[in-house]
Structures are given as C-alpha cells and as structure tokens.
Chains A and B, each alone.
Chain A
Amino acid sequence: MKTASAERFSSPLWRDPGLAAAALSEMETLAGKASALTGGTVNFMEVCGTHTMAIAASGMRKLFPKTLRMLSGPGCPVCVTSQGDIDRVLALAEVPGVILATFGDMMKVKGSKGLDLHAMRERGTDVRVVYSPLDAVALAEAEPSRQVIFVGVGFETTAPVIAGAVARARKAGLKNFSSTAFFKLVPPALELLLSDPENRIHGFMLPGHVSAIIGLKPYAFVAEKRRVPCVVTGFEPLDILAGVNMLLRQVVSGKPAVEDEYFRAVRAEGNPAARRLMDEVFAVGPASWRAIGTVPGTGLGFSKAYERFDAVKRFGIKYKEAPEPKGCRCGQILLGKALPPDCPLFGKACTPSSAVGPCMVSSEGACAAWFKYGG
C-alpha cells in the first residue's frame, strides 16, 4: 500500500462533515424535484454489498430526504449464491482427503441440511480460510498429496483474481488444484431486475470495484434501452452522497446516462488485462441465482481450455435445486422488493449469530448491515 495512493482513496477528506452537509442540502432540493417526477418515493438501488455496508456504517440513511429510498440489490457474493451451489460447496468439502480453501465470508452459510463450513470443520473436514486464491495455489504446492479446492464465488471483481490463480496452477503443472466457478455477472443481473414488470427502480448506484474491471460500456443498455440512470460510485461516505446526487440530477433532467463518480479508480475502458485473463480461463454460461434460479448467460464457468480445473467436474458433484429457508425473505430483499425489517424473521428468529438466510450471514448482506448498524 503506497502512502500517496492510500491518501487518494481513504483520506479524511472523504468523510468531511462540511462537504457532507452541503451534499445533503443539495440532495434535499434534488429529491424534492425528482419525487415530483416519479410521483412519490425515488427508489435507487445500490447493487453492491460494499455500498450496503458503507451506507449503514456511516449512518447515512437517517440523513437522506424522506422521499429517497436506497434498496439493496443482488450484489453480495454470498447472498446471491444459490442454495444448490452452497450444497455443492459443502459436498466438495466432504470428499475424502481434500482441503477446501475459501474466503472467510463463506464459512457461515448454511447448506440445505442446516450445516455450514464451520460446523463441518468441527466434524473434521479440512476447511481453511485464505485471504487470496493464490494462497490456495501455494497450499496445493505445499501439500502435493492432497487435493486443494478453492471456493470460487463472486462477481467480475473476484473472477480475474481467481482466473490468475488457476492460470498459475496450470503453469506450475499442478494436478491437485481445482476451483469452483460459481461466478455471476453484474450487467445481466441488472437486465434481470429490470425485466421484472414489478420493479420500481429509478436508478442504479453501480459497484466501483466491478466497474474497475469491466468499465462503463457494459452498462450502456441500462441507460439507453431501459432509460434508467446509472452512476458508478466509490465507497467513501462523500462518494455515496455525490453518487446519489448525480442519480437525482439524471432523474430530474430526464436524461439517463452512465456516469462515473469513482473516476479516481474506474476508467471507461476498465481493466483490459484483467478481462483478458478472465476471458481466457472462464467463459460466459448459466448461473444459479438465489431467489431467481438458473439463468443462461448470466455467469461465468470454466472455458474449454481450463475445464480440468473445474472442481465440480473433477469430483463429479451434481447440482440439485434446493428450497430457500422457510419464512426467509432474502430473495425479495435481493430483488429490491423488500427491506430487511419487512421480513418477519429479521432480528427475531434471524440474527447474525443464528442466521436463517444468507443476507444475515454475509458481512456484506443487507440484513447484517441493518442489524449491525441499526438501519
């Protein structure tokens, strides 16, 4: 972490109270005009779980105009992973002799039999939390007699890094490394949301991290065909306030566009090197979304050239549809149709220590954010 760039991304300036007050006062005026046009509440969706957490952690919701509502979208990697895919991860952990390496966030998601990776680790399966998929490759090198499986989930943010790890494993000739590829793509997710006639989304706050990889062009259809405003936004409090105001201005002007608030990190063309790596190792295919189901062309699986690194194929794990936990409204929350307090289980039967649904389990889930920070 170089000090100069760190300053640029996390300086106290991004939390300056004077600038925040100015942005909020402008927001009040803009939201008034925008709500007159939408005929009531203005609904924006933050697609990314990191935004959900940042909004809650800064206590921003209470400062927003009453006519503005931020809905959480399908952008938390753990939350969107279908119950069937979670079950496949747990099944992989049970293959005799394997080491399952995963990001920490996946540890507490329950399979349909009610077990999570924590519980499986207590029962003696070898599950290790790693900070980078490259650590899992190193693990495979250090333990040549064991099969190491990395749990690959997430969006365009994590996919290139995991692609890099798989490419390295191939270069090193490792026969004992494999990964799952349960990746989801953000632009098709937006299309899924908008194709629902019941959707009430007036604008998308788009994820800064994902956009740093894919750039701005893949979102063009949202503004042009669907006529819905889009702003790629950073994660500091002032980024989010500025992003909301840019969205409101688009609503007021009636000219939807794809704008970039996070231009200090996101370039219009994205990161071509990362995309090349991702395109080499993975290929667009179907993905299984929680609450939505399996939809063609909305995710990434292994490309032909890298098929032999597919853990699911290597160990012959089948996909089986599994029902959502009973009473859980994670599905509606992910689609922006409900807020966490609308769920009858929220804060009662479902808390972070005994979570029913993934939105409460994941540190980036909407329910966890509402519970932890009080909305």
Chain B
Amino acid sequence: MAAFTKVLLGHGSGGRLSRELVEQVFLKSFSNPALAPLEDAAELKLGGARLAFTTDSYVVTPVEFPGADIGRVAVCGTVNDLAVKGARPAALSAGFILEEGFPADLLGRITASMRAAAREAGVSVVTGDTKVVEKGKADGVFINTSGVGLIPAGRRLTSAAVKPGDAVVVSGNLADHGVAVMNARNRLGLEGGIKSDAAPLNRMIAAALKVPGVRAMRDITRGGFATVLNEVSGACGLTAEVEERAVPVAPATANACALLGLDPMYVANEGKIALFCAPEAAGRVLKALRSDKYGRNAAVVGRMVKEKKPQVRLKTAIGGSRIMLMLEGEQLPRIC
C-alpha cells in the first residue's frame, strides 16, 4: 500500500513526490534489473547489442509557447533521455491522445515541428498511435513518445559511477523553459524574450563523449537541476557541492524567477544536461560542449566530494552555504 490515498498534482512535479509515487506504486509492480537504476533510459542487452529504451508523455498548456511547442518538446525529451545514456538515438514512436474539436491546423503545426526536431536529431518517427476522446476528457493534445538507441560497445554512463573529485558541469542557462511556459500560460507579460530551450542534444553530447572521463549525464527536466543533483548524490553516495555564482542563468530569467518567487535551480528545462566527469577531463568537456550551439553557455559549476552524510550543498554568491533538497511538490508562486 502506498502512503498516499490519492494522486496529487505534486506527484507529477518531478521532485520528491514523483519519486514516492514511482517507488511506492510502480516499482512495486514492475520491479526488474533494467528498471531499478531509475535513470533517464533503461539499458537492455539484445542479441549482443546494448540498447537504451525510454518513454515519456507530454502534457503542457499552452501547446505552443515562445521557443517551442509540445511537439518539439516530445521529440527532444526522448532523444535527450537516450543521448544521456550514451546511446545513438535510432527511432521514435509517437502516440497522440486528441480531444474532440482540436484544431487540425494546430495539429499540423505540432507534427511539422516534431518532424523538424526529429530531422535535426537525425531520427525518424517510425510508428505511432492515435486516440480521440470526447470533449472535456483531455486537454487538447497529449503526446507520448518512446525511443530506442544503440549504446556503443564499452560505454557505460551511470550516476553510480560518479567518483569523489569529479567535476559537475551544466550545458547552459537554466530555467528558461519553465519560465517561458509559465509566462505564456498565465499571460504574465514578462519581457526580456524568455524562450523555451527545448532542443535535441544528441550531437552536443556525442561531442562531449569523445573526451575520456565522462562518468554520467542526466537530462535536467522537471524538478530542475537541484533534483537531478539529489538523485545523483543518492546514487553515488557523494556530496555535490555547487557554486551559485558559476551556475548560468540568463538575467531576464533570473529576474523573472525573483519576481515570481521561483528558484531557477528547481525550474524545468528541455534542452540542458548535467554532466559528471573526472576533474582532468573538465576543460576538454567544456570545450566540446561549447562548440555546439546548444552548449555555448556550458560551465563547470561544482564538484563531488566524499562526506559522512552525503548532501547537495550550494555555496552562495556572498560566501555562505546552504543545502538544496529535492523539489518538494509543485513550485507555487508566492503571495508577496
């Protein structure tokens, strides 16, 4: 029996409550060695080859927002979940749940956007499914994508492999996606041209993986960077120590977060990874990331250290320090 009686919105936040839902309900029914690590994609051995396999469902209001739309996010999210396991994305599936009355031209724009993102990533959508539900039984369009990819021989990327002294790298400015969607959804009218960062990162990641010493990568989506750090810290048993001043956040996004009472460390991204590598590899990894258009603002933001009680710690700009927990539930804007 789960400790909760009903599913809450917070169970979908990507933070601690989501973890609770997975552990208390899904793991109980589905537990198996491929699922157990709970990483972005599962690793399967199939006839001598190693495959990465992942699935994700996309629900976002509005379906179009500055910088991207639900279709682009659906393709990029799954491509990135494969790529961070070191796999070369091979093919995607796409399932659509459509609400009766959904505009055909909007659906056309979404699928065109999916095609463009898939082309950029070098993958095709090879199978699909459509269901239409009565008006009011869904919110416009829900998309599920799954993906498979081949993991090259000898490559093993997993959070458990992260070692003391390893560098923590992020591939660019955080929090743009979450703020862009919130701005569009609630018509907040925030200026500064904040756009979603949704992007297929497989090429950028392939470049970084040419550098030896990369131990693990994580797709930073819901729950934000802080939640990813907590998951990795839990998996490798090390403290993550992050320098606040080194974490890249665009000024307009930082201001929007300050105004809304949001912490950029917990806001969703759709085109950013966290990468953990040997300290001596950090310089070359950074160079590789920055040579890609989606990694131009990549930065080394911290390191992993061995401590009695592993935690995620932020060294603040003014020289203080504090802990960073997993996202607790939904991030709610404050009263004043």
Contacts and interface: CB of A to CB of B under 8 A. Distances in A.
A158 B186 contact: no
Contacts of B251: 6-7, 10
Contact of B321 (A62, A106, A107): A62
B335 A77 contact: yes
B107 interface: no
A225 interface: no
Contact of B190 (A1, A16, A118, A241): A1
Interface residues of B, number: 39
Contact of A237 (B254, B314, B318, B328): B318
Given A122-B8, A209-B336, A10 B320 contact: no
Query: Chain A: interface secondary structure?
Result: helix
A319 interface: no
B191 A238 contact: no
Interface in B71-103: none
Contact of B333 (A10, A58, A131): A131
Contact of B17 (A20, A60, A241, A353): A353
A1 B259 contact: yes
A6 B318 contact: no
B334 A237 contact: no
A55 B4 CA distance: 33
B213 interface: no
Interface in B255-269: 255-256, 258-259, 261, 263
Contacts of A363: 261, 332, 334
A353 B334 contact: no
Contact of B323 (A50, A153, A373): A373
Given A1-B256, A3-B192, A157 B318 contact: no
A60 B320 contact: yes
Interface residues of A, number: 53
Contacts of B190: 1
A3 B251 CA distance: 9
Contacts of B333: 103-104, 131
Contacts of B255: 1, 6, 9-10
A103 B261 CA distance: 12
B335 A122 contact: no
B8 A105 contact: no
A17 B318 contact: yes
A50 B254 contact: no
A22 B259 CA distance: 28
Contacts, number: 123
Contact of B336 (A9, A154, A352, A373): A154
B332 A129 contact: yes
Contact of A131 (B188, B245, B318, B330): B188
A14 B191 CA distance: 21
Given A1-B256, A122-B8, A353-B16, A17 B328 contact: no
Interface in B154-202: 186, 188, 190-192
Contacts of A57: 263, 316, 322
Contact of B334 (A105, A122, A135): A105
Contact of A62 (B17, B314, B317, B320): B320
Contacts of B256: 1
A21 B322 contact: no
Interface in B287-336: 314-323, 325, 328-330, 332-336
A277 B336 CA distance: 18
B258 A58 contact: no
Interface in B210-264: 245, 251-252, 254-256, 258-259, 261, 263
B316 A59 contact: yes
Contacts of B131: none
A371 B245 CA distance: 23
Contacts of B320: 58-63
A140 interface: no
Given A3-B192, A105-B334, A209-B336, A20 B318 contact: yes
A344 interface: no
B6 interface: yes
B318 A238 contact: yes
Interface in A1-33: 1-3, 6-7, 9-10, 12, 15-17, 20-21, 24
B317 A15 contact: yes
Given A10-B255, A131-B188, A60 B318 contact: yes
25 contacts: A6-B251, A7-B251, A9-B255, A10-B254, A15-B318, A16-B317, A50-B336, A59-B314, A59-B322, A62-B320, A63-B320, A77-B336, A104-B335, A105-B332, A105-B334, A106-B335, A135-B186, A154-B335, A154-B336, A158-B335, A158-B336, A238-B318, A364-B335, A372-B325, A374-B322
Given A3-B191, A17-B245, A135-B186, 18 more contacts: A10-B254, A15-B245, A17-B318, A57-B263, A57-B316, A58-B317, A59-B316, A59-B320, A59-B322, A60-B318, A104-B333, A104-B335, A118-B9, A154-B336, A158-B335, A158-B336, A363-B261, A374-B323
Interface of A: 1-3, 6-7, 9-10, 12, 15-17, 20-21, 24, 50, 56-63, 77-78, 103-108, 118, 122, 129, 131, 135, 153-155, 157-158, 209, 237-238, 241, 352-353, 363-364, 371-374
Interface of B: 6, 8-9, 16-17, 186, 188, 190-192, 245, 251-252, 254-256, 258-259, 261, 263, 314-323, 325, 328-330, 332-336
The 7 closest A-B pairs by CB, nearest first: A59-B320, A104-B332, A15-B317, A20-B318, A59-B322, A373-B322, A374-B323
